[in-house]
């Protein structure tokens, strides 16, 4: 904790006098996924400048992953068989969402304020929805599914190391999607957004996984032929080994 407090203090001292009320940073701005990647943990830290003695100050940290198009199916039991009877397409909805705050968000600001900034799991929204029926049950089902997979989360995790310095930990599970993330830090005072900062975070594949990914996407035909050839060679070698064993 002292290390992050020192970094936040250094960040605060390095900021110009006319800076915003909020200064924040990341313990690392790039996460590389390799073959032995099992998850990571980054720290978001910062400081509040020109802290006023009056009013209640709250810090909310929101990490949003790259948008994705998701189709949610609704299954019904028909004659003992579960089949998909309905669906909704949620377009451009975050593939990862994590919120950490000093207090429960419903105690920090009014519902319309939280909805405006899409703060909180219940305020996650897709840019567009394609559905023949009410899409809300499908959105709620997706949120529950993402929570179970560790890709959506919400907790009271922002801690103050003094009157102005704060930090929080953000878990990144093994199934986290690659791409650019936005780490948003909001400073609330008496229910109003006083200051906000957004910092990019990049999660990308590295090593052999990255080379295979590029090969598969840049030369799909060659990649397909290579995998078929490799399967044939492995099958031939396996038969040759077992034949000698007999």
Residue 49: predicted pLDDT:
81
What's the pLDDT band for 17 if we cut at 50, 70, 90? Answer: very low
The domain total for the chain is 2
pLDDT in tens, 190-246: 899 999 999 999 998 765 555 665 656 667 777 677 778 878 787 777 777 776 655
Q: Are residues 156 and 231 in the same domain?
A: no
Q: Are residues 189 and 246 in the same domain?
A: no
C-beta separation of 63 from 42 below 8 A: no
Q: Are residues 115 and 215 in the same domain?
A: no
Domain that holds residue 222: 207-246
pTM higher than the cut 0.85: no
Q: Are residues 49 and 113 in the same domain?
A: yes
Average pLDDT value for residue range 34-58: 84
Could you tell me which residue, 115 or 220, shows the higher pLDDT?
Answer: 115
pLDDT higher than threshold 80 for residue 89: yes
The rounded distance, in Å, linking the Cα atoms of 148 and 156 is: 18
- 105 contacts: CB under 8 Å, gap ≥ 6: 60, 99, 114, 119, 120, 154
Q: Are residues 174 and 222 in the same domain?
A: no
Q: Is 151 helix (H, G, I), strand (E, B) or coil?
A: coil
Inter-CA distances, 94 with 118, 130, 222, 229, Å: 11, 16, 32, 38
- Any alpha helices (H) in the chain, and if so which ranges? 2-14, 105-108, 111-116, 136-148, 208-218, 220-245
Q: Are residues 116 and 231 in the same domain?
A: no
The rounded distance, in Å, linking the Cα atoms of 96 and 55 is: 32
Q: If you write DSSP's letter for every residue of 43-109 in order, what string do you get? A: EEEEEESS--SSS-EEEEEEEE--EEEEEEEEEEEETTEEEEEEEEEEEEEES-EEEEESS-HHHHS
Of 16, 35, 99, 102, the residue nearest 63 (C-alpha):
99
Residue with tokens 């990308």: 204
């Amino acid at each position: 904790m002292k290390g992050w407090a020192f970094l936040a203090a250094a960040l605060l001292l390095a900021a110009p006098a006319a800076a915003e009320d909020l200064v924040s940073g990341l313990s690392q701005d790039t996460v590389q996924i390799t073959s032995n990647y099992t998850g990571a943990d980054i720290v978001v830290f910062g400081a509040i400048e020109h802290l006023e003695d009056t009013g209640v100050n709250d810090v909310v940290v929101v990490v949003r992953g790259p948008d994705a198009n998701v189709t949610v199916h609704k299954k019904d039991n028909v004659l003992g068989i579960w089949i998909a009877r309905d669906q909704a397409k949620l377009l451009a909805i975050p593939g990862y969402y994590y919120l950490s705050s000093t207090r429960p968000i419903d105690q920090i600001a009014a519902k319309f304020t939280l909805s405006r900034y899409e703060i909180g799991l219940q305020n996650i929204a897709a840019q567009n929805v394609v559905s023949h029926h009410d899409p809300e049950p499908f959105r709620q089902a997706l949120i529950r599914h993402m929570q179970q997979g560790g890709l959506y989360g919400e907790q009271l995790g922002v801690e103050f190391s003094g009157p102005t310095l704060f930090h929080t930990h953000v878990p990144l599970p093994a199934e986290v999607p690659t791409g650019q993330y936005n780490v948003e830090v909001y400073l609330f005072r008496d229910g109003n957004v006083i200051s906000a900062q957004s910092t990019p975070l990049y999660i990308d594949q590295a090593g052999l996984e990255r080379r295979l990914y590029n090969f598969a996407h840049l030369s799909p035909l060659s990649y397909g032929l290579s995998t078929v050839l490799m399967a044939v060679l492995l099958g031939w070698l396996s038969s040759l080994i077992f034949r000698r064993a007999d």
